Each structure stands twice: as structure tokens, then as C-alpha cells.
Amino acid sequence: MATPGDAASPVRGSRPPARATSRLLAFGAAVALLLPLSACTDEEVDVPAPPSPGTVRIAVNDWVGYEAGAAVIGRLLTQELGYRVQTVRLTPPQSWEGLEKGTVDVIVENWGRESLKRTYIEEKKVAVSAGRSGARGVIGWYVPQWMADKYPGITDWRRLNRYAHLFRTGKSGNLGQLLDGDPSYVTNDEALVRNLGLDYRVVYAGSEKALIDAARRATRDRTPLLMYFYEPQWLFSQIKLAKVNLPPYAIGCDADPAAVRCDYPPYLLDKIVSRRFADTGGRAYELVRNFSWTNEQQNAVANDIAGNGLDAGRAAQKWIDANRITWKEWIPH
């Protein structure tokens, strides 16, 4: 998922979430500390903590897949290495700013965002990549599967205008509605609609949860929906969506965000850390660098959070208990 206004990042300047509370426990002396997510703030949580190697501050972006990865890493940092973990809910751009300010150590799941990489990694040199997360990201436009079955050709962008009337809403007026998530997600949708000559208007739902609710309603009630969405995403294990074929992506076709008229690129999601954390984070940095899992593994934790009602900490612990053979390789010796 998704987040983007930056052509090389997903969900516009992200793919995306439900503001579910993430719990990460700091263990030591048989004491468990519950650290609540703050709402877009970088304030430290003032609670007593047992002695530990230090504190790791993890940004949590607003989509459940990201939260799943942050929860697993946080649990392992506390339980296996003895670190104290603080989480802070931020938009993707705010997370990068936090790397420079010193209020964020780790971004768990970065979707491209080449302009932010140029600014903070190449120019300011305050951040570095900590390698791939292992998950592969896909951003695009989707309709409920029943629409693809009922309207042959609706998944071809060249035929979307003939179906625009189906997608009209009070917010889109005489144009069809293309429902996006949070404006901070990586998205080129307004430029795509304009440059491809489509009779649609981008309307922002505001969050990943709003997109998911819309997809569920459209599937259940068989109401038309054209939406921005992304993978990995746990919802695909519950309902069927069909991806619209936009003009194929080619390297460089999205170099000018204002002129883009091609599909989103495939995203090899990576982790970003502050340069200070890379230099001084020790075993905590090594664990973050070693962390790598698949779309399926991420979806399993995310589905327990969003689909099965577990809080992030319990969902992460469930996965950790069942997948020791996977995460044991991440723990530095």
C-alpha cells in the first residue's frame, strides 16, 4: 500500500490505514511496558523503564501492513535484544523529517519515494537504506470482481470512459469517481486522469480503512467502485478485486510527475534508518537490517490485526511464536 504525489513512492506525498493501536512491549525484570502510539507527534513517552541497551524509535505509517512489520520488529527488539521501543504514528513525509530531526530511527516499509531519498539520503546525508523488506509492492486501480465479470473490458483503461457514468457520486459530480486513500500516499492518479483524458475525478477517502470499507460495501452490495489500492494487502484474502490495466510501466515514464501517463512501477519495498542509528544502533540496527519477509507473511499478521481483531502486539507475538525458524536468522550473534 498504500500513499503518493511522488511518482516513485506509493501513496501520495502510502499507501494507507485504520489507525489501529500498535502495542510494543519492552521486557526486562519481568516488567512489560505498554507504549501507546501517539497521534502524529514525536513526544517521548514518560514511563519508567528497566535498564536496557537503549531506545529505538519506530515510525508507524497509516496502513496495517506497515504496522504489522513494525510490531514484529518491535517485539523482537524488546524480547530478544532487550531494547526499549517507542512508536510514533506519522505520515511517510513526516517520518523522513523525523530521521533528520532525530525523533525517528527506523522507517519499516518505504514505497519508493525517490524524491525523499534524494533529499535525505543523497543531499542531506541524514538517512540511509537498511536493505529490502522482502515484500513486493503493487499500486494500481481496482474494481470489484463482480464488475469485471459483468462489464467485459472495464479493466482496460481505454474503455473506462464508457463506464464513467456508473461511478458518479455526489463528490464527483458529472464525472466518474476514482477513490484514493490518504493524500499522503504515493499516487499519480490526478495526473493520470488528466493525461489519459479520462472523465473521472479523484476523491480522497482519507485512510486505508476507508478504502477497505468501500471495497467491502461494493462487493457485498454490488455497487460500482473504482479505487486506488495496493498489495501486499490482507483484504485480498477475503474479497476479490480486479486490477485495471493502465498503460504499461517503462523505466522513466514517471520521471515527470505532472506528465505521467503510465502504470505504477513494481516496488521492492525497503527500510530506511537515520544515519545516526546506522552508525550507533549496534545490534538493534543489525536486526532491522536483517529483517526480511514475504507478502504472505506480512498479510498473515495484518489479517490478524484488521480481520481477526487482535491488537498489533498480540498479532506479532502469534506470528513470532509460529515462525521462529524465520526470525531467528534476523537476530545478530
pLDDT tens-place string over residues 249-295: 999 999 999 999 999 998 889 999 999 999 999 999 999 999 999 99
pLDDT band at 60 (very low <50, low <70, confident <90, very high): very high
> If you average pLDDT over every residue of the chain, what do you get?
86
Check residue 24 and give its pLDDT: 35
Identify the weakest region by mean pLDDT among 12-21, 72-81, 319-328.
Answer: 12-21
Q: Tell me if residue 199 falls in helix, strand or coil.
A: coil
pLDDT band at 185 (very low <50, low <70, confident <90, very high): confident
The C-alpha atoms of residue 216 and residue 322 are separated, in whole angstroms, by 30
DSSP state letter for 247? S
- Higher-pLDDT residue of 41 and 236 is 236
Check residue 53 and give its pLDDT: 79
Would you say domain 24-136+268-330 falls under CATH 3.40.50.970?
no
CB-CB neighbours of 317 under 10 Å: 19
DSSP state letter for 82? -
Check residue 22 and give its pLDDT: 37
Check residue 52 and give its pLDDT: 57
- Higher-pLDDT residue of 112 and 120 is 120
Check residue 27 and give its pLDDT: 34
Answer whether residue 18 shows pLDDT above 70.
Answer: no
Check residue 184 and give its pLDDT: 85
Answer whether residue 123 shows pLDDT above 90.
Answer: yes
- Higher-pLDDT residue of 15 and 151 is 151
What is the mean predicted confidence (pLDDT) over 82-100?
A: 96
Q: Considering the chain, tell me which residue range(s) the CATH 3.40.190.100 domain(s) occupy.
A: 137-243
Judge contact between 231 and 78, C-beta under 8 A: no
- Higher-pLDDT residue of 13 and 202 is 202
Q: Considering the chain, tell me which residue range(s) the CATH 3.40.190.10 domain(s) occupy.
A: 24-136+268-330
What is the mean predicted confidence (pLDDT) over 135-151?
A: 96
Can you list the pairs that 195-200 forms with residues at least 24 positions away whose Cβ atoms lie under 8 Å?
Answer: 195/259, 195/260, 195/261, 196/157, 196/246, 196/247, 196/261, 197/161, 198/157, 198/160, 198/161, 198/164, 199/161, 199/164, 199/175, 200/160, 200/164, 200/167, 200/172, 200/175, 200/176, 200/226
The C-alpha atoms of residue 209 and residue 190 are separated, in whole angstroms, by 21
pLDDT band at 186 (very low <50, low <70, confident <90, very high): confident
What is the mean predicted confidence (pLDDT) over 66-77?
A: 97
Check residue 225 and give its pLDDT: 98
Answer whether residue 5 shows pLDDT above 60.
Answer: no
Check residue 31 and give its pLDDT: 31
pLDDT band at 50 (very low <50, low <70, confident <90, very high): very low
Answer whether residue 241 shows pLDDT above 50.
Answer: yes
For the domain 137-243, what is the CATH code? Answer: 3.40.190.100
